[in-house]
Amino acid sequence: MNRELSQQEIDAVFSNMAERKRDSPAVRFDFRRPDRIPKSQVRAIHLLHDTFVRNLVSSLSAYLRSYLTVNLVSVEQLSYAEFLDGLPSPTCIVSLGLSPYDGNGVLELNPSLVFPILEMLLGGTGKTSTTIQREITEIEQKLLDGLFRIILHDLREAWKGVTAVDFTIESMETEPQLLHQLAPNEAVVAVGVEVRIGETVGMMNIAMPSIVIKMMRQKFDQQWSVRKTHASVTEQLRVLAVLREGALNLEARLEGPTLAVRDLLALTEGHLLTFDYPVDRSVELLVNDTHRFSAQVVGAGRKRACQVDQIRPVPAQGKTSEEVPSESPPDPEG
């Protein structure tokens, strides 16, 4: 037990340790952000807010009566302190309730966007040449209620595809550092949206706690798996439900021999036309002038009916429906 290791044995131990390090590379882990969500869920949130942005374009254009563009700039994971550091001061920032989930989100509108919108709401053009850097007054906050109502409505509709979240405004501040909704080191998913109205460009930023979004992970997985496996079936059923209400013309036709125009013009009273249509021969059922079925004439109580005995193949595009061979035209008889 008291034997000392030789230098060769010591070198062999360190060599084995170096090989083990090469076989299992280290992976960085940030202990300050334990609530980071997987990249697949971040991509799903990106797609979800793509829908939000498309809806917001039409909603805000109608509300402000002006053409504007809205672009999704980024979806990333930050600490709450980093999110607040990226916001201007003063600004317009509100605390969002996320019912039925515990926790609060944040919605921020840059002053470069808020004051032109306020001018448009009061009848102006919104084409201001100077950048206003001041706090929003209480009267201006009331004027923005309609704007926030539209934004939160489109946000609810976008999230409805995954889960029902009732976004509500709980409080409003002008200084980001005064909105102590989350711990500074708590992880959030930050969504950056650029809004352009004419020459005016401003940012709208949304932050939601990562821990709340992690609680929705199962709903995200269920939603995207259903879309992937059953989207086509669901879409087919939806289209079929719409088409079921449509009306079609159904016509039973005895298609016998043809008749030349000269013979038709020569017909007079007393002429007899022979159609030579066998009793056991099927009649053609046309759906909107297209041959779709062949059938036999039968009786249904006191009414005549047709019993389908064959379904015709759908005619190829660009071709006329299947024609029944015609017999030689009969000569009119006196």
Contact call for residues 276 and 259 (beta carbons, < 8 A): no
CATH (one of 3.40.1550.10, 3.40.630.30, 1.10.10.10, 3.40.50.170) for 39-221: 3.40.1550.10
| Between 36 and 160, the higher pLDDT residue | 160
The answer to whether residue 210 scores a pLDDT higher than 80 is yes
Least confident of 6-15, 56-65, 152-161: 6-15
For residue 328, what pLDDT is reported? 43
Alpha-helical runs (H) found in the chain = 7-23, 39-64, 80-85, 111-121, 138-143, 145-159, 210-215, 217-243, 261-265
pLDDT tens digits along 2-59: 567 777 777 777 777 766 655 556 656 555 555 577 888 888 889 889 999 999 999 9
d(CA 15, CA 20): 9
The answer to whether residue 251 scores a pLDDT higher than 80 is yes
The answer to whether residue 312 scores a pLDDT higher than 70 is yes
For residue 50, what pLDDT is reported? 92
Q: Give strand pairing partners of 196.
A: 69, 201
CA dist 244 → 137, 233, 239 (Å): 56, 16, 9
What is the SS3 assignment for 84? Answer: helix
What would the mean pLDDT of 275-298 be, rounded to a whole number?
Answer: 82
Query: Could you tell me the fold of the domain covering 250-311?
Result: Surface presentation of antigens (SPOA) (2.30.330)
Q: Percentage of residues in the chain with pLDDT exceeding 90?
A: 22
Output the six-digit token pair for 310: 């064959």
What would the mean pLDDT of 130-155 be, rounded to a whole number?
Answer: 88
d(CA 214, CA 192): 20
pLDDT tens digits along 75-123: 999 899 999 999 988 899 999 999 998 889 999 999 888 988 998 888 8
pLDDT-based confidence at residue 182 (cuts at 50, 70, 90): confident
Residue 223 CB burial class (10 angstroms; 0-12, 13-18, ≥19)? middle
For residue 327, what pLDDT is reported? 43
Least confident of 62-76, 91-105, 241-255: 241-255
What would the mean pLDDT of 150-174 be, rounded to a whole number?
Answer: 91
Q: Give strand pairing partners of 9.
A: none
d(CA 272, CA 184): 100
For residues 201-216, b (16+ Cβ closer than 10 Å) or e, as one string? ebbbbbbbbbbbbbeb
| Between 249 and 332, the higher pLDDT residue | 249
For residue 67, what pLDDT is reported? 86
What is the SS3 assignment for 316? Answer: coil
For residue 332, what pLDDT is reported? 46
For residue 24, what pLDDT is reported? 56
**One-letter amino acid of 268:** T
What would the mean pLDDT of 308-322 be, rounded to a whole number?
Answer: 65
What would the mean pLDDT of 259-263 be, rounded to a whole number?
Answer: 87
- For the chain, the structural domain boundaries read 39-221, 250-311
| CA neighbor of 97 nearest in space, from 152, 36, 41, 51 | 152
Least confident of 19-23, 115-119, 248-252, 256-260: 19-23
pLDDT-based confidence at residue 295 (cuts at 50, 70, 90): confident
> What single string gives the DSSP state of each residue in 246-286?
----EEEE-------HHHHHT--TT-B------TTSPEEEE
| Between 251 and 220, the higher pLDDT residue | 251
The answer to whether residue 158 scores a pLDDT higher than 80 is yes
For residue 320, what pLDDT is reported? 46
